[in-house]
Amino acid sequence: MLDYVTIFAFGLVAVAFAAVSLIAAQLLRPRAYDPIKGTTYECGITATGTTEIKTNVRFYLYALLFVIFDVETLFVYPWAVTAKSLGNIALVEMFVFLSILFFGLIYAWKKGALQWE
């Protein structure tokens, strides 16, 4: 039971630290709002337009697909190093894993996630 008390104490300290930090930041921050601070700065040139830009969602789709397939290759490498000692069941499992990955790629391709227009 002592182990749980230690874990509870660490959790309590973490929550207290977060709460004290947020309260201190709220009390110590400057109160006056400066409208110039919220404007766009373009190296001395008078700013035109808004600061908000619309980013194409395809950037995020490409990034997510890259991360997914990159992480999958990280799973394949250790298997390839120890494949001989793992046996045939590991070979079958890797073929299942790679087929799921392949069908995911085909699905993304068919849905148009890889088209850049």
pLDDT tens digits, residue range 92-101? 988 998 898 8
> Can you give the pTM of this predicted structure?
0.48
Torsion of CA 88, 94, 95, 97, to 10 degrees: 150
The H-assigned helical ranges of 1-117 are: 2-28, 57-81, 83-86, 88-111
Q: Does residue 89 or residue 55 have the better pLDDT?
A: 89
Confidence bin at 8 (pLDDT 50/70/90): very high
Phi-psi label, residue 102: left if phi above 0, alpha if psi -120 to 50, beta otherwise: alpha
CB 114 within 8 A of CB 65: yes
The H or E element spanning position 30 is none
Confidence bin at 117 (pLDDT 50/70/90): low
